[in-house]
């Protein structure tokens, strides 16, 4: 556990963000290796099937992940205020919520996955493999929620290293299983989905075993779990806007697939590969934003709001440098990166066009995420939700739909950075208003002490 309320802001955030970043790098590395194995061993149709499945998987998990962020915000603020019993109650409530919702989502996913695939206008030759991959993957959803929920709780406490260690083990296991099930036993997309389930289950159970033996706060004992209605309501109030935001983002991904899919298998495969590279490039901004949220939550919980601005400036400088470097890599070596996934020259050129256009504007994306991280750490998730939905559904999707018939897929690609730029501008304007400061879960008296008012409410 790390106390983020004392010490130099920049080094603290960097030290906290790096393990999360490394963990997600390993996770994305698995995703990339998985796509490379599928693209080279099975073919571009299977690669397109896995890529087309991702927005549906994201749709199924997005609402719950968003609500989980609400639990993480409360954990960080209670921990900053040294209210350890409340931290434990929050973690227990989170586990109970995640268990039941994962069961419901798995059932709905298995029943409706193929119908959703058809709604996206996915070519008929891709649907059988995409449907098979989806159904198997969804059956392991409970392990995904368990592992990610536990990781979020630890990060709320300032511990970003423990999730990293188990994530590394999970991803190495996943890659090895992929090579065995796909490369040797020729199980195709089924092998990829089975590998994911086994590795996620193994990571979750081993991390719980370790925490039950070694950790002072995060422990899972099914017979002693306590559900706290007040904490659950607070978590919903904070997390629901983010969850709805994630849900509409995932619906936006499906809407983009609806626009992209009629261009055929080559374009879908190129979009899948470029999207994998794009997701990898987005990791620094996303993880620094998550680290900043925990930093903001703890410092507002400890009644130290003056540290928040310094933390934002330091994080902005760090992510800006990284964004410029990542953009340069994508522009210079984009074709080589695409070639790792497929030898098909047409697919490579389509994907490289995407990278040239989108990667040139990573700085917009990182700035938007960092500012949103401050607001979420304070518990203000409603306005960031509206900003994200506005940029996606009012700008990006309509613009892509209008430009696609005239400019082809290049028009779809250009809609992405244009939406980022507008979202970044709106986020910064709202940050300057300072209204997000009023959304803190813990309210302090004017004496600047860390005494929490008797009635803690979310404004």
Cα distances (Å, whole numbers) of residue 89 to 119, 129, 229, 402, 436: 41, 43, 10, 50, 26
pTM exceeds 0.85: no
DSSP state string for 54-66 = HHHHHHHHHHHHH
Q: Please tell me the predicted confidence (pLDDT) of residue 149.
A: 92
Is residue 62 one of the residues assigned to a domain? yes
Let me know if residue 275 belongs to a domain.
yes
Give the pLDDT confidence score for residue 325 in this predicted structure: 94
Tell whether 455 is covered by a domain. Answer: no
Q: What per-residue confidence (pLDDT) applies to 167?
A: 85
- The per-residue pLDDT for 150 is 93
pLDDT at 459: 28
Q: Under a CB-based contact definition with an 8 Å cutoff, are residues 303 and 82 in contact?
A: no
E-assigned strands of 109-190?
none
Answer yes or no: is 448 within a domain: no
Number of domains in the chain: 1
Is 4 within the bounds of a domain?
A: no
Angle, CA of 188, 192 and 195, to the nearest 5°: 135
pLDDT digits (tens, 9 = 90+) for 125-154: 999 999 999 999 999 999 999 998 998 899
Residue 295's pLDDT is what? 92
Q: Give pLDDT tens digits for 274-284.
A: 988 888 888 89
Which residues, at least 6 apart from 6, have a Cβ–Cβ distance to it below 8 Å? none
Give CA–CA dist 141/156, Å, rounded: 22
Determine the structural domain holding residue 275 and report its residue range.
9-439
Residue 458 in domain: no
Tell me how far apart the alpha carbons of residues 396 and 426 are, in angstroms, rounded to a whole number: 15
Residue 61 inside a domain? The answer is yes
Q: Which two structure tokens, joined as six digits, stand for 34?
A: 């998985």
Which of 302, 307, 304 is CA-nearest to residue 292? 307
Separation CA 108–CA 141 (nearest Å): 11
Instruction: Say if 454 falls within a structural domain.
Output: no
Query: Is the distance from CB of 246 to CB of 66 less than 8 angstroms?
Result: yes
Q: What is the C-alpha to C-alpha distance for residues 250 and 392, in angstroms, rounded to an integer?
A: 10
C-alpha 454/C-alpha 19 separation (Å) is 36
- As to burial, measured by CB atoms within 10 angstroms (0-12 exposed, 13-18 middle, 19+ buried), residue 34 is buried
Res 3: pLDDT = 78
Judged on CB neighbours under 10 Å (0-12, 13-18, 19+), 216 is exposed
Q: What is the pLDDT of residue 458?
A: 34
Low-confidence ranges of the chain (pLDDT < 50): 444-459
């Amino acid at each position: 556990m790390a106390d983020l309320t004392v010490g130099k802001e920049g080094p603290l955030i960097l030290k906290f963000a790096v393990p999360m970043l490394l963990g997600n790098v390993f996770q994305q590395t698995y995703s990339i290796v998985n796509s490379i194995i599928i693209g080279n061993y099975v073919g571009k149709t299977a690669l397109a099937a896995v890529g087309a499945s991702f927005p549906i998987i994201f749709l199924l998990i997005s609402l719950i992940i968003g609500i989980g962020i609400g639990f993480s915000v409360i954990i960080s603020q209670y921990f900053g205020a040294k209210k350890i019993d409340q931290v434990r109650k929050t973690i227990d409530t989170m586990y109970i919520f995640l268990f039941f919702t994962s069961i419901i989502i798995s059932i709905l996913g298995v029943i409706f996955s193929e119908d959703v695939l058809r709604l996206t206008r996915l070519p008929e030759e891709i649907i059988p493999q995409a449907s098979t991959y989806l159904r198997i993957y969804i059956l392991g959803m409970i392990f995904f929620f368990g592992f990610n929920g536990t990781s979020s709780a630890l990060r709320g406490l300032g511990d970003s290293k423990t999730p990293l260690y188990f994530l590394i083990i999970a991803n190495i296991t996943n890659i090895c299983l992929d090579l065995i099930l796909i490369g040797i036993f020729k199980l195709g997309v089924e092998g990829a989905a089975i590998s994911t389930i086994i590795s996620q289950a193994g990571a979750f159970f081993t991390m719980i075993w370790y925490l039950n033996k070694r950790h002072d706060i995060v422990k899972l004992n099914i017979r002693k779990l306590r559900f706290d209605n007040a904490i659950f309501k607070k978590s919903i109030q904070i997390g629901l806007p983010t969850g709805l935001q994630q849900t509409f983002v995932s619906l936006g991904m499906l809407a983009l697939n609806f626009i992209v899919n009629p261009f055929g298998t080559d374009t879908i495969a190129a979009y899948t590969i470029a999207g994998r590279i794009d997701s990898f490039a987005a990791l620094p901004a996303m993880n620094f934003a998550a680290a900043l949220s925990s930093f903001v939550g703890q410092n507002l919980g400890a009644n130290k709001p003056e540290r928040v601005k310094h933390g934002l400036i330091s994080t902005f400088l760090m992510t800006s440098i990284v964004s410029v470097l990542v953009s340069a890599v994508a522009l210079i070596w984009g074709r080589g990166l695409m070639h790792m996934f497929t030898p098909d020259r047409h697919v490579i050129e389509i994907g490289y066009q995407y990278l040239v256009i989108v990667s040139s504007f990573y700085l917009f994306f990182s700035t938007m995420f960092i500012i949103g991280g401050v607001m979420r750490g304070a518990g203000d998730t409603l306005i960031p939700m509206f900003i994200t939905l506005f940029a996606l559904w009012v700008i990006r999707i309509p613009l892509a739909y209008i430009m696609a018939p005239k400019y082809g897929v290049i028009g779809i690609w250009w809609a992405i950075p244009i939406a980022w730029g507008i979202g970044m501008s709106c986020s910064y304007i709202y940050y300057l208003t300072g209204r997000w400061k009023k959304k803190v879960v813990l309210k302090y008296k004017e004496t600047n002490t860390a005494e929490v008012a008797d009635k803690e409410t979310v404004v």
